[in-house]
């Protein structure tokens, strides 16, 4: 399983398109230096811009790497080398998940280090709350990777990408939509309420608005979010394994 993770990680971080996206992400982070000059000491704006940039590019990298991970291996038949050897399909799924996770986390950390340096350079010290926000972003990316592996086990990269973008959008609007539906009431409210129980609420991972106002989260809240992430990862990966086991090569 760790061999699969290692190979997946190596393949991912050697992808030239990944480097292109990462360079844009780093440039965006460096842009905050310029923004810092314009805002003249208003670190809230710099932090907002920086954290938003890390999030956007982190998710682009996640979706780019994850949307075709299993599908591509089936289409290109690289899985013939793997599955003819004594390794179960479940271990392949988990190995792919871990490899992608390490690759995505590494790129996010690269962007985060630049961000932290800029905040420190501008007199903000070590941005601990910013670090917590980025940690939660990595948790969100982890959940997304598991979801993308599930999609990738049965659909094409295009459908995986579109589905994940839709879920990204819906996942962040879930609370707002349910509150609006509550005012309408009836079946509409019930539908959106049940949807909110099933779909991952990605807004749980978003504390960027709190962080820029120096508001943190409690340790208990952090533990709940971690538990929430683990539950969804478990559901996604078990489902991916079940589908992948039935998949003809």
Residues interacting with other proteins, by CB under 8 A?
3, 6-7, 10-11, 14-15, 76-78, 80-88, 248-249
End-to-end, the C-alpha distance of the chain in Å comes to: 20
Shortest reach from residue 59's CB to other proteins, in Å: 23
Contacts of 114-117 with CB under 8 Å at 24 or more apart are 114/26, 114/29, 114/30, 115/29, 115/32, 115/50, 115/51, 115/53, 115/54
Q: Greatest CA span in the chain, whole angstroms? A: 61
Q: For residues 12 and 43, which CB has a smaller minimum distance to other proteins in the complex?
A: 12
Q: For residues 76 and 179, which CB has a smaller minimum distance to other proteins in the complex?
A: 76
Q: For residues 85 and 187, which CB has a smaller minimum distance to other proteins in the complex?
A: 85
Helix (H, G, I), strand (E, B) or coil at 217: coil
Do you know the residue count of the chain? 249
Shortest reach from residue 2's CB to other proteins, in Å: 8
Residue bearing tokens 């990204």 = 168
Distance CA 220, CA 224 (A): 6
Shortest reach from residue 100's CB to other proteins, in Å: 14
Helix or strand run (H / E) with residue 132: helix 128-152
Shortest reach from residue 72's CB to other proteins, in Å: 9
- Do the beta carbons of residue 126 and residue 120 sit within 8 Å? yes
Q: For residues 187 and 249, which CB has a smaller minimum distance to other proteins in the complex?
A: 249
Shortest reach from residue 82's CB to other proteins, in Å: 7
Q: For residues 92 and 174, which CB has a smaller minimum distance to other proteins in the complex?
A: 92
- Do the beta carbons of residue 9 and residue 99 sit within 8 Å? yes
Q: For residues 13 and 167, which CB has a smaller minimum distance to other proteins in the complex?
A: 13
Shortest reach from residue 38's CB to other proteins, in Å: 41
Tokens of 225: 């979010």
């Amino acid at each position: 399983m760790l061999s699969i993770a290692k190979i997946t990680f190596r393949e991912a971080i050697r992808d030239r398109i990944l480097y292109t996206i990462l360079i844009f992400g780093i440039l965006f982070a460096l842009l905050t230096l310029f923004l810092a000059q314009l805002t003249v000491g208003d670190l809230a704006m710099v932090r907002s811009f920086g954290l938003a940039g890390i999030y956007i590019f982190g998710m682009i990298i996640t979706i780019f790497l994850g949307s075709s991970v299993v599908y591509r291996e089936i289409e290109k038949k690289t899985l013939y080398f793997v599955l003819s050897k004594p390794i179960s399909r479940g271990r392949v799924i988990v190995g792919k998940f871990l490899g992608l996770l390490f690759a995505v986390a590494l790129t996010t950390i690269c962007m985060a280090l630049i961000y932290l340096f800029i905040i420190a350079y501008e007199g903000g010290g070590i941005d601990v709350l910013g670090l917590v926000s980025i940690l939660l972003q990595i948790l969100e990316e982890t959940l997304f990777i598991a979801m993308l592996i599930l999609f990738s086990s049965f659909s094409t990269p295009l459908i995986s990408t579109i589905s994940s973008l839709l879920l990204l959008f819906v996942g962040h609007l879930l609370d707002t939509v349910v509150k609006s539906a509550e005012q309408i009431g009836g079946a509409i409210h019930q539908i959106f309420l049940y949807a909110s129980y099933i779909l991952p609420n990605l807004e749980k991972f978003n504390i960027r608005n709190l962080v820029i106002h120096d508001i943190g989260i409690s340790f208990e809240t952090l533990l709940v979010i971690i538990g929430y992430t683990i539950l969804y990862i478990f559901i996604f990966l078990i489902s991916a394994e079940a589908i992948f086991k039935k998949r003809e090569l």
